[in-house]
Amino acid sequence: MTIQTIATTPFAGQRPGTSGLRKKVTEFQQPGYLENFVEAIFLTLGDCAGRTLVLGGDGRYFNRQAIQTILRMAAAHGVAKILVGRGGILSTPAVSCVIRKHGAFGGIVLSASHNPGGPDGDFGIKYNIGNGGPAPEKITEAIFAHTKALSSYRISDAGPVDLDAIGTSRIEDMQVEVIDPVADYAELMGRLFDFDAIRALFASGFTMRFDGMSAVSGPYAKAIIEGMLGAPAGTVVNAEPREDFGGHHPDPNPVNAAELIALMDGPDAPDFGAASDGDGDRNMIVGRKLAVSPSDSLAIIAANATVAPGYRAGIKGIARSMPTSQAADRVAAALGVSCFETPTGWKYFGNLLDAGLATLCGEESYGTGSDHIREKDGVWAVLFWLNLLAASGKSVNQIVEEHWARFGRNYYSRHDYEAVDAGAAEAMMQALRDQLDTLAGRQFGDFRVQQADDFAYTDPVDKSVSSRQGIRIVMTDGSRIVLRLSGTGTEGATVRLYLERYEADASRHGLATQEALAPLIDIAEQVSQLKQRTGREQPSVVT
């Protein structure tokens, strides 16, 4: 084995987005493309002597090949040890868990999360720091700066590592330890939740369907829900991670998890339904004929946190992304704790969690988590709901309806316009910014605009400022319209339109969501001219 220095030239466009670098598989397969980005990571990290890193991914196409390349490059940069999941598998929450448990310096996550997989699908890579969370902007910007100036990369010429056998091997002076991808994570879940109560729930005849969407959470759900908690075999479906996710679009929402929704809407529905996404960090909670909005799920978890052993002492605070509904704010006020509003991206929660200012965090894009790790966590959220169902003896629907009766209902929806011409999307956003100063005080039907701005966030811990994080149009009754461009797509631009309307009157909690939001949808179109500017008559996805 020898360490080689390979000449290279920079590739344009390797700036990490909200969750790392995401591109088409075919881009990553270009000679030197992956190597350049990985080299930039190691140059940003500096001296790696004596350091341990964690490595794994969601099993999508190109995962195994990328892991072999990264292992050889890590050895060339003097990394002392790498922990890699068997088969190259580690969910994003599990990577965070393993980093924290083993005191690793950081980790490399190979995933494009909820994006489609396969040879024509997407691939992604991101770096997580020592707290287990996504790298902050100062690190991702440093990585990007290195990608623009590379002239070479370093790599060992060692042969491939057997990723399917638990044990240790060496590349150069670096130890490679292949670990059980589920064990550390399952142990942590056992400390947070009342597994005895959940076992008793299943023993009583309680039924459930967990859809792994042929993605990475399947092995975790299978081992914990069926193996440790005693749910009947077959409770977890689509449990085997596949390189193309079995043709699924592994994004757990009512559109992409249509099979689960149909089951839960049917006459033979189980008591509880759930799904998780490509890399295991998102979740969807479903009752009979009721898909729980992720914003409501966060609020309900916060309102009932003390049912779970890991949260018996109560919560310190809640953090939510700006586009997420304000349902959690009402719970925080009732509990007398702070509720922080951050930009979209889990990395913004890290400082709040590390400083002990927040315990629970959530994003409207089906991401929920807590201070147990520094990533959102799909299986964790499902286990919390199981713990709540066991402790309360109530159904999902009862829990949701009682929550609305106490706190009011925040009708909420997201309309995605995917693969829009990037120039047209940017022009629309700029046109909105140009009229922000004129919107306050304007009347639109029954709604009057109280404020309109381009959301900016000052981190209360490190005082860093993140600007231009989404256009907010807030009405005097608290209803909101939010527009932003997503950073998770790989082609064109994704325009996200978020709509929220608060209803305190329990007699009006049974409206269809889109019906309740129809006036706001019309106002959003009037102000943004979204359809005209994007050429799209309808959203690609409504959740």
- Which one-letter amino acid corresponds to residue 93? P
- Nearest-angstrom CA–CA distance, 480 and 524: 10
Are 304 and 285 a contacting pair, CB within 8 Å?
no
Active site residues: 113
Residue whose C-alpha is closest to residue 424's, from 527, 533, 540:
533
> Taking the CB of residue 144, how many other CB atoms lie within 10 A of it?
18
CB 228, CB 190: distance < 8 Å: yes
One-letter amino acid of 191: R
Please provide the DSSP assignment of 333-368 as one string: HHHT-EEEEE-SSGGGGHHHHHTTS-SEEEETTTEE
CA distance 178 to 172: 16
Distance CA 26, CA 472 (A): 37
- CB under 8 Å to 250, separation ≥6 — which residues? 114, 116, 117, 213, 214, 215, 256, 277, 278
> CA-CA distance, 457 to 469, in Å (whole number)?
8
- The dihedrals phi and psi of 77, each to the nearest 5 degrees, come to -100, 10
Residue 278 to residue 91: CA distance in whole angstroms: 9
C-alpha–C-alpha distance, residues 118 and 121, integer Å: 5
CA neighbours closer than 13 Å in the CB half-sphere of residue 536:
22
